[in-house]
Chain A
Amino acid sequence: MTITLNNRTESFKLETYTIKELLAEKKFTFKNLVIKVNGNLIKKDKYSETKVKDGDKVDIIHMISGG
């Protein structure tokens, strides 16, 4: 699949990934992430069941302490 991840086009081997699988593939291990798929907020308890497919727009924002 080819998706837009954080405004960049990225291609992946498989046709579909769950958010959990996508995070593992990208090695995003950070504890606090805000994730949107096609504009919809995906909370942590839905990472295993939410699927990402070709053409999707995915935004993954790392919540970093400081302010």
Chain B
Amino acid sequence: MTFEEIKEKLKYNIVGIAGAGGLGSNCAVSLARSGIGKLIIADFDVVSENNLNRQYYFYEQIGQIKVFALKDNIEKINPNVQVEIHNVKVNEENLTDIFANCDVIVEAFDDANAKQMLIETVLLEFPEIPVISGIGMAGFGNNNSLKSRQIDNLYICGDEKSEVSEENPPLAPRVNIVANMQANLVLDILLNN
């Protein structure tokens, strides 16, 4: 497929991104560069200085609401992408409204409880929508530990081991690798259907 053919196909697709942190912001930018038609992004957070070690924001955006800042950044890269944003904390109730029309949903939260809530709600409410989760990416090194696997309509990217802690912080390289594994799987699913 040529890039023109890829863009022609992707322009009709909608991808939901739950969380606009390290995984979500980088995944969204890669999908925008690839020519995705529409992104639906939900997050409740604001940009802080310690986000800049891995998230797709700029120093001057500190203090801005993440979904607004991310929409601005995406539009600077590819103004053809429609970006629908929701400045809310995603929960079981609002999730089904926000992401109902998505072709694929990317789980891009940092908190384990939120990850579980999103995966379980999508599996129960939208069993036909593929959901791609990022699990285990703290620290540095160990390239080959980062993998992806499929369990029916649920896809897991990451090492499924490395938990974030004071001594094992999330850093740009591994978080970006997993964010882009998620974006790559989105393309795989959309372009092969």
**B110 near A67: Cβ-Cβ < 8 Å:** yes
**Residue in A closest to B170 when the chains form the complex, CB atoms:** A66
Query: Are A63 and B110 in touch, CB under 8 angstroms?
Result: no
For the complex formed, measure the closest distance between the CB of A59 and the CB atoms of chain B, giving whole angstroms: 5
Best-buried of B109, B112, B162 by chain A (most CB within 10 Å):
B112
**Closest Cβ neighbor of B178 among chain A residues:** A67
- B138, CB-defined interface residue at 8 Å: yes
Cβ A67 vs Cβ B119 within 8 A:
no
| Cβ-based interface call for A9 (8 A) | no
Known A-B contacts A41-B120, A43-B120; the reply to A63 vs B115 at CB < 8 A is yes
Give every chain A residue within 8 A of B119 (Cβ-Cβ).
34, 61, 63
A65 touches B110 (CB 8 A): yes
Render B102-135 as a binary contact track against A, CB cut-off 8 A, 1 for contact.
Answer: 0000001111110110011001100000000111
Closest 3 CB pairs of A and B: A66-B164, A67-B110, A63-B112
Please tell me if A31 contacts chain B, counting CB pairs below 8 Å.
yes
A61 engages B160 (CB within 8 Å): yes
Q: Which residue of A lies closest to B109 (CB)?
A: A67
Interface majority SS on A: helix, strand, loop or mixed?
A: loop
A52: shortest Cβ distance to chain B, in Å?
16
Residues on the B chain within 8 Å of A31, using CB:
112
Which residue in A7, A33, A34, A67 is a CB contact (below 8 Å) of B149? A7
- Distance from B145 Cβ to chain A, minimum over Cβ atoms (Å): 13
Complex Cα–Cα for A28 and B135 (A): 17
Interface pairs (22), CB distance under 8 Å: A31-B112, A32-B116, A33-B116, A34-B119, A34-B120, A39-B152, A43-B120, A61-B133, A61-B154, A61-B160, A63-B116, A63-B135, A64-B136, A64-B161, A64-B162, A65-B112, A66-B136, A66-B137, A66-B138, A66-B170, A67-B22, A67-B137
